[in-house]
Chain A
Amino acid sequence: MGEAISQSEAMPGALRHRLSRALENPTLLGFLFVAPAELILLIFLAYPFVLGLWLGFTDTVVGREGSFVGLENYKELLEDSAFWLTVFNTFLYTVVAVILKAVLGIGLAVVLNRDFKAKGLVRAIVLLPWIVPTALSAICFWWLYDSTFSGISWVLMRLGLIDGMINFLGDPWNARFSLIAANVWRGIPFFTIGLLAGLQTISPELYEAADLDGASFWSKFRKITLPLITPLLAVVTAFSTIWTFADFQLIWIITKGGPAGATHVFGTLSFQRAMSGGHFGEGAAISNFMLPILVVCVLISFKYLRRED
């Protein structure tokens, strides 16, 4: 900033005057201020986004420009059983994980929504799974799900609940639910902290009035808490749905989509086909299948998030 001033001081008076007059024009200044952000987003977001749509219609492989093949990629995918397994996995993963995160997240928010000692500390601990880089906590879960040395199996065996070690990642359904558990672990804090802010704005008088009427804990929750946090809950859920649906790193690190494709989701399958296999066109087509769901989530979050002016 200092440099800019000394430069403008060095300019001839007339030019300087015209420049500073121009900067008072909100449209011009607005355009200048928005330009850096728009440039970044245009080159590295909007252009790739459109390019991705186009790549889905081509047979591009890594390092070579492809040619237009129409709906070929999409047709092949629809006949590919690995793709349909991926569709199933993605929906299972998203629906089960988001519901569990919402229920457990609201639960923890309700528990935390009161005054107690060490509230700040507890809140900081609750956010930890969200803060720690997902790739690193994924490594930790990977080891926790080891087929021979898992601490979970050890505890369950000691309690006499199971006879042998659990094959967490080698069995399709075990692997799916192991990944969902890891995702839920990571996502609870977002729901809890996001909703806690909403809970704190609810007037205590509402609960006091309900207490006078002898309302139970559940009916207070259903009739007061839930309706009042619904808009916020809708936004938090929409965000979480997008992130879960488009998840990649947790699954890529822990199972790489295995065993035998049983845990592939759109993100991991497209990465495998495009980056490991070199088929950019096919990978892009897989990614593009995510778009309809995304549009729905975007519309929901947009409806509730739009700023009123």
Chain B
Amino acid sequence: MVGERAISKALKFYVPLGLYLLFLLFPFYWMVNTVFKSDKEMYNLELNPFYIHSPTLENIVHLFTRTIFLKWMANTFFVAILSTLMALGASLLAAYAIQRLRFRTSQPTGVAIFLSYLIPQTILFIPLAHVIFQLKLWDSLWALVLTYPTFLVPFCTWLLMGYFKSIPKEMEECAMIDGASRVRIFRSIILPLCLPGILSAGIFCFTLSWNEYIYALAFISDTSSKTVPIGLVTELVRGDVYHWGPLMAGALCASVPVALVYSFFVEHYVAGMTGALKE
């Protein structure tokens, strides 16, 4: 009886879970496995490709010494942090106003902001390239800092509106009776209470900016102004020459900041994701 139940549990749970994890983790294994192989080993068909026979750091050395990888990382950080701050500031104010101030056009404003979240970058990059060109921001990181908030603000506002909604109105009313101004209520009551929400929103913004590809590809062609994903693909693939080792090393190293942020705040991340969907 017990044996039967264990088998049924294994079939219903451990086997499918194992297969899923194998599928989801396999590409990562392939990436890490390649990073520490020499070219000679990588291109030797006689060897088992899933095993590293003589580990080497030459790919990582290649990445750091023969490309400006660190500069690309710095560029990506610069853009991600500035656009996150801009988006957070604008979204906090907007979300509070829409959810709590109930001014005349608050409802349509909320709807408009939500709708703008659903317009994909693929539709916007051509006219935006035109705008960026007119603003003389071509090849400048500021082009990215200014355009990334367009997909960050709608999401953040939507997420934060959910948090503001969960704060009891009575707290504000009490403070108002005590003579506190609206601005002061926002600063000393609402913001501290929404800290988890602000954190979730900030993490989302950071990872979304870090991951952005199409705008960075369209607006930046100068090698020293590229962000990591663009730099890797355009500089480590030259015609028919693929530097797979350094490419994998770059992909691994560039994933580290996002993975770190994520591992520290995974609960906030999940809460943000599910919160935004449910609200």
A interface list, Cβ under 8 A from B: 1, 20, 23-24, 26-27, 29-34, 36-38, 40-41, 43-49, 51-52, 55, 60, 62-63, 104, 107-108, 111-112, 114, 116, 120, 122-129, 131-137, 139-141, 143-144, 146, 148-149, 151, 154, 185, 188-190, 193-194, 196-198, 217, 232, 235-236, 242-243, 245-249, 252-253, 266-267, 270-271, 274-275, 280, 283-284, 287-288, 290-291, 294, 297-298, 301-302, 305, 307
When the two chains form the complex, which single residue of B13, B115, B211 contacts A111, counting CB atoms closer than 8 Å?
A: B13
Chain B residue numbers with a CB within 8 Å of A283 are: 126
A52 with B127, Cβ < 8 A, contacts A38-B94, A194-B274 known: yes
Chain A residue numbers with a CB within 8 Å of B232 are: 135-136, 139
Assess whether A51 is in contact with B13, with CB atoms less than 8 Å apart.
no
Assess whether B122 is in contact with A143, with CB atoms less than 8 Å apart.
no
Chain B residue numbers with a CB within 8 Å of A51 are: 127, 130-131
Assess whether A55 is in contact with B150, with CB atoms less than 8 Å apart.
no
Assess whether A149 is in contact with B45, with CB atoms less than 8 Å apart.
yes
Q: Provide the bound-state CA to CA distance between A301 and B213, in Å.
A: 25
Interchain nearest-CB distance for B52 vs A (Å): 13
Assess whether B270 is in contact with A26, with CB atoms less than 8 Å apart.
no
A49 with B13, Cβ < 8 A, contacts A30-B97, A30-B101, A253-B233 known: no
Query: Is the CB of B78 closer than 8 A to any CB of chain A?
Result: no
Chain B residue numbers with a CB within 8 Å of A62 are: 133
The 7 A-B pairs of least Cβ separation, nearest first, read A30-B103, A135-B229, A246-B120, A33-B97, A197-B274, A37-B94, A48-B127
- Pairs across A and B, CB under 8 Å, 30 listed: A26-B103, A30-B102, A30-B103, A40-B90, A40-B153, A41-B154, A44-B149, A49-B119, A52-B123, A111-B13, A120-B266, A133-B258, A134-B211, A143-B247, A144-B30, A146-B244, A154-B49, A185-B27, A188-B20, A189-B24, A193-B273, A236-B277, A248-B121, A252-B213, A271-B218, A274-B126, A275-B126, A280-B129, A294-B119, A307-B165
